[in-house]
Amino acid sequence: MVLFVGLFFFGKTVAPSKRDNKPTQTAEAGHDHSFQFNDILTEAKKTITTDQQQRLAALENSVVRGDVKEQQLHVYHQLARFWKDSAKVYLLYAWYTGEAAKLDNSEKSLTFAAQLYVDNLLASGEPDMQHWLAENAKALLQKALEINPANDSSKIGLGACYILGNISDNPMEGILPVRAIAERNPDNLYAQLVLGLGGKKSGQYDKAIERFSIIVKKQPTDLEAMLHLAECYDLKGDKENAIKWYEVVKKFIANPEAKKELDDRIKQLKG
């Protein structure tokens, strides 16, 4: 949550920009998405020590030599742990966890790996990154849904890929299944969150506010939902409610830098 607050506020020195009240996914779907796994790997290797590079090379060579599924599965798990625990590059941890899940091909492993991507997708705002995350999550979730077509969480995650990941010029392809789940079960806050983020992304702030308000009503201490709620009011131009929710958020934040960001924005709105 501290990371989320940092990503949400640090670097924001001006008001959130107003956007046209039009969906953005159609325009982005034709974008040349150049973000690739090798780009992440190449940059990450520049940050690790010589000893870590040697250990990594040994693991990578083991994958190439491994001609038995169990051997490759074991090495992928080792690579995932290396990037998570030693090098602390979360995206590569997600990647190798996903590769292991494809070999294992169980619903549990596929949904776990997919959620690593989706969690980043829900927080990321950079189009190329969102596209890469969504494509990888989609591949895993589709396999999981082949095993268990009734899993609502997998359906919502897949919907998030379409709604937030710029992987289709038809966002309704993702919205309709998630909306159906939310209508059937309004207490499914994962569905409410994804629909809220979709509304915010497309500039439909009233719809987004409705979804985030449901979450806050059910979970009054959900900082993520409150932050999104405050910014939606801000983007909509409703200064009174934006100030109200920024003030509420302040009560749950101890980080002085994050509090200063909030105070500065509140002053701008009041001024």
**Which two tokens mark 140?**
């895993």
pLDDT of residue 16: 54
Residue 149 CA to residue 166 CA, distance in Å, equals 24
- CB-count burial class (<10 Å; 0-12, 13-18, 19+) for 65: exposed
pLDDT of residue 186: 96
- 99-136 per-position pLDDT tens digit: 999 999 999 999 999 999 999 999 877 889 999 999 99
Residue 72 CA to residue 94 CA, distance in Å, equals 16
Q: What are the residue boundaries of the structural domains of the chain, listed by start?
A: 36-104, 189-271
166 pLDDT tier (thresholds 50, 70, 90): confident
User: Max CA-CA distance within the chain?
Assistant: 67
The amino acid sitting at 153 is: S
Tokens 């776990």: give the residue. 112
- 11-66 per-position pLDDT tens digit: 343 445 454 444 333 334 344 456 789 999 999 999 999 999 999 999 998 876 65
pLDDT of residue 67: 64
The amino acid sitting at 140 is: L
- 189-271 folds as 1.25.40
Residue 75 CA to residue 100 CA, distance in Å, equals 9
Q: Which of 1-10, 134-143, 232-241 is predicted least confidently?
A: 1-10
Model confidence pTM above 0.75: yes
